[in-house]
Amino acid sequence: MAMPAKPPTTPFCHQLQCSLYSPTASLSLLCGGSSSKSRAQRLCRKPLRLNCSRSNGNEPQDDYLIDAPVSAGDGFSFSGGKYSDEPNPADEWFKQGKFVKAHPVGGTGEKAKDPIFGLTMGACSQSSGDLFRWFYVESGNADNPAIVLIHGFPSQAYSYRKVLPVLSKNYRAIAFDWLGFGFSDKPQPRYGFDYTLGEYVSALESFVNEVAPNKVSLVVQGYFSPVAVKYASNHQEKLNDLILLNPPLTTKHANLPSTLSIFSNFLLGEIFSQDPLRASDKALLSCGPYAMKEDDAMVYRRPYLTSGSSGFALNAISRAMKKELKAYVEEMQTILTDKNWKVRTTVCWGQRDRWLSYDQVEEFCKDSNHKLIELPMAGHHVQEDNGEELGDLAMLILNAWLLKGSVK
């Protein structure tokens, strides 16, 4: 659970000549000579402080240094993460959000140390308290049926920004950042959370119970689909509908694409996961046919620009996915083809997906008796490519059951 950020005590500023993929580059200002020191003094600026409300309106707001001039002491990140002090989409998105505490912190409580130098890491990489802190944005009347929007790997809740307003007309729509992504906690691996798929199943249960204690529908995208399906199989009585967006359904889907698996490689993975462009832009753009606006790209880059903990989490998740994905895909196939499966399930498939082949998807849905909806203009990240269309489509799917009186 993250604590409110405090102003840093060590001066640290942008060093634009640093290599984007060097995890040690940001240390040079602290270790360099007088010229580096004088340059640091010229570039220093005050951090931007924002407030973010908690889910409980009675609790005080937290201050959050979204543009802190240091990375809270982890020594592996780029200072700040903004090109300008002017308001930008990341700031506006953050203002819409809330924090909720869910899922117990494991481990012994020992302070996290970086895996390369063995130095004690900063607050961004530590687990503080007994529960992790999750960032989420919700829209719609709290009395309406709840629908939880789950982003894929790698992505953020921000990917559902165009879907939320559409669903909010009839639903209480909730989009959250997984642990390790966006503005949610990013504990150092092996210090409270190891980023295994089993831990994510348990973490999802904790989060959903906290924000939506009654019945709920789920929309989940990409490589986190097996996690959501596993959760759903354990709580079928709690779910109304399950909508899967380009999930890894077949045996051919059981391996990560090279764009993602590279983050799991020894040494190279540690380096590339600290590169904000490779960790966000390249990964997001390589799976579909569309370019991304620079303002939106900066929102996805922000976690990797402001703290090295994001890169360490990405590296750990990639290794877990590479090791466990095949077994989870096979289990998902078994769950979705089980005659006792009771959750209404719809598969929406963006046919311009460059990571997951459409081959055998139609056959799987036919054999398992699940509805399949093809989206010819969308890529792997359906919600990013066709957000409004997806919102309308989800409304049609869910409202069809509402009209029959099926949603409680």
* Most confident of the ranges 72-81, 232-241, 261-270: 232-241
Q: What is the pLDDT of residue 204?
A: 98
Average pLDDT score over residue span 259-268: 89
pLDDT tens for each residue of 219-258: 999 999 999 999 999 999 999 999 999 999 999 999 999 9
* Higher-pLDDT residue of 198, 276: 198
Task: Give residue 276's pLDDT band: very low, low, confident or very high (50, 70, 90).
Answer: confident
Give burial (CB, 10 Å; 0-12/13-18/19+) of 36. middle
Average pLDDT score over residue span 367-372: 95
Residue 396 lies in a domain: yes
Q: What is the pLDDT of residue 26?
A: 34
* Higher-pLDDT residue of 280, 395: 395
* Higher-pLDDT residue of 321, 271: 321
Q: Looking at residue 302, which CATH number applies to its domain?
A: 3.40.50.1820
Rounded distance between C-alpha atoms, residue 49 and residue 61, angstroms: 12
- Phi, psi angles (nearest 5°) of residue 399: -65, -30
pLDDT tens for each residue of 152-182: 999 999 999 999 999 999 999 999 999 999 9
Residue 361 lies in a domain: yes
- Report the share of the chain in percent with pLDDT over 70: 73
Q: What is the pLDDT of residue 126?
A: 63
Q: What is the pTM of this model?
A: 0.78
Listed range (30-34, 78-82, 386-390) with the worst mean pLDDT: 30-34
Q: What is the dihedral of CA 224, 5, 50, 213, to 10 degrees?
A: 40
Q: In one letter, which amino acid is 233?
A: S
Residue 348 lies in a domain: yes
Please report the DSSP string for 231-263 in residue order.
HHHH-GGGEEEEEEES---SGGGSS--HHHHGG
Residue 5 lies in a domain: no
Average pLDDT score over residue span 322-347: 96
Sheet containing strand 146-150, strands side by side: 62-65, 49-54, 98-104, 131-139, 172-176, 146-150, 216-221, 239-245, 344-350, 371-375
Number of folded domains that form the chain: 1
Show the domain range for 345: 99-403
Q: Which element (helix H / strand E) includes 323?
A: helix 308-337
* Bridging pattern class, strands 216-221 and 146-150: parallel
pLDDT tens for each residue of 21-74: 333 333 333 233 444 444 434 444 444 444 545 545 555 554 444 443 333 334
* Contact in structure between 254 and 248 (CB atoms under 8 Å): yes
Q: What is the pLDDT of residue 74?
A: 42
Residue 60 lies in a domain: no
Residue 314 lies in a domain: yes
Q: How many CB atoms lie within 10 A of CB 278?
A: 20
Q: What is the pLDDT of residue 5?
A: 37
Mean pLDDT of the chain: 80
Q: Dig out the tokens for 400 from the structure.
A: 């069809």
Average pLDDT score over residue span 363-385: 95
Task: Give residue 190's pLDDT band: very low, low, confident or very high (50, 70, 90).
Answer: confident
Residue 14 lies in a domain: no
Q: What is the pLDDT of residue 114?
A: 66
Q: What is the pLDDT of residue 405?
A: 53
Give the angle subtended at the CA of 94 by the CAs of 90 and 96, to the nearest 5°. 125
Residue 109 lies in a domain: yes
Rounded distance between C-alpha atoms, residue 381 and residue 155, angstroms: 9
